Amino acid sequence: MNTKDCFYRKAFLPGSIFAIIVILISFSSCQKVVNIDLNSSSPRLVIEGVITDSTGPFHVILTKSGSYFNQPVLPPVSGAFVTVSDDKGNVDTLKEKDPGIYATSKIIGKSGSNYFLKVISENIEYDASTTMKSRVVIDSLTVEETQGFSGKMNQSVICHFRDPIGEKNYYRIKFFVNGKSNADSYRLYDDQYTDGEEINLRVGHADVSDTDVVVLMSIDKQTYDFYHTLEEILRTNPLFGGTPANPNTNLTNNALGYFAAYTVSVKPIIIK
């Protein structure tokens, strides 16, 4: 897994209540500043693991969580025992190739298979399971031109694919412009109202001469819920919104992060 794709780590919060750090109380012409100590909590293990139907090796990344208001580089967790297995009885013991980065050597991603993660770190065991859904392929990419409020013509890339019939499906779409993406270049979709239909999704803005790439991932509900709650957290103002929380996770023992298995379809388009 590309570590650049792990921007969401900054959203992991300790399990304590946050408040505005300074309260200003005004009396007539004087002001008094009251500093409030924020509760802190012990660092928690953050696990990021992905199995795809692409060629391995696949990676499980282990780090420790940090403070919400102070986000240094999260420290890697070395020396853990990590295995990934499937419902066919195959077990892969991962090797630590870099600090906190553990790589598979033989596990294979296949649609319809269930996968199980086990991590033992500091004498605590963490487990998770995930299912690789049916492979869904991008049929085509097109460009649609629309007129904006200012009268300027805008171009958008539309992703076309066929949703499998009779199966509950969830998708995550990444949009790359000239090899780059950001937190706003991701989209989630579920087939609640479009089971078995042709799907046409607007996935990103296009400019002439751009080389755009769309990545379509067919994910399970647990992975969808993780990214859905993550999006809500990233869009919440911590000072004026509700109490921050952590994304939903399929990991046990109070770990943060996720373990996912999904199929991947990639298609490029050059804007002319």
Regarding predicted confidence, which is higher, 17 or 152? Answer: 152
Regarding predicted confidence, which is higher, 31 or 122? Answer: 122
The whole-number average pLDDT for the span 37-64 is 86
In sign, the C-alpha dihedral spanning 73, 257, 226, 130 is positive
pLDDT of residue 36: 37
Q: d(Cα 113, Cα 201) in Å, to the nearest integer?
A: 27
- Evaluate if residue 53 carries a pLDDT over 60: yes
Residue 116, Ramachandran bin (φ over 0: left; ψ between -120 and 50: alpha; else beta): beta
- Per DSSP, 99 falls in state T
Q: Among the residues of 20-120, which ranges form H helices?
A: none
Q: What percent of the chain has pLDDT over 70?
A: 78
pLDDT in tens, 62-108: 999 875 555 567 899 999 999 999 999 999 999 999 999 999 999 99
Q: d(Cα 51, Cα 54) in Å, to the nearest integer?
A: 8
Domain boundaries of the chain, sorted by first residue: 3-270
Candidates 209, 203, 202; CA nearest to 270 is 209
25-62 b/e (C-beta count within 10 Å ≥ 16 → b): eeeeeeeeeeeeeeeeeebbbbbbbbbbbeeeebbbbb
The whole-number average pLDDT for the span 156-177 is 95
Single pTM value for the model: 0.79
- Evaluate if residue 125 carries a pLDDT over 60: yes
pLDDT of residue 58: 98
Mean of pLDDT over the chain: 83
CA trace torsion 230, 231, 234, 240 (10° rounding)? -100
Q: Report strand pairing: 45-52 vs 256-270.
A: parallel
Please, which pLDDT band fits residue 246 given cuts at 50, 70 and 90?
Answer: confident
- Evaluate if residue 28 carries a pLDDT over 60: no
The whole-number average pLDDT for the span 47-51 is 97
* Best mean pLDDT range from 47-56, 67-76, 142-151: 47-56
- Per DSSP, 180 falls in state B
pLDDT in tens, 175-234: 999 999 876 789 999 999 999 999 999 999 888 899 999 999 999 999 999 999 988 887
- Evaluate if residue 26 carries a pLDDT over 90: no
pLDDT of residue 73: 76
The whole-number average pLDDT for the span 24-53 is 63
pLDDT of residue 237: 54
Please, which pLDDT band fits residue 252 given cuts at 50, 70 and 90?
Answer: very high
pLDDT of residue 242: 52
pLDDT of residue 67: 59
